[in-house]
Structure 1
């Protein structure tokens, strides 16, 4: 939505302070959405890492067969 606003601002420029306010608001929305996307990626990676750590401890290997099974 913010990208659309910036595109509209470039095509139909708003005069004076209104143009500056609209441009700053759109740029701020883009920065905030990028920060939230980055935070979401980090949180997902952390949760996946924790799940892999838990799953690693639940496996047992039969002696000599090399086959793993969940306990």
Structure 2
């Protein structure tokens, strides 16, 4: 497991988006929160995780603050 150790906020970067939607799943317990993504259309998640992120509660709180800022800007 690779746990996020530091979150760096980029304020002036362009986001390179791609068409389509990937599949993701979320799992968490008392210590960690994990998000995994899979290829478009891989609803059974049989082709393996393409990307994943694991957060401690401390990093989840930090990410939540950034997400709250993002949501509030809309």
Larger RCO (CA under 8 A, 6+ residues apart): 2
Q: TM-score, normalised by structure 2?
A: 0.25
**Whose radius of gyration is greater, 1 or 2?**
1
Q: TM-score, normalised by structure 1?
A: 0.26
Higher-strand-fraction structure: 2
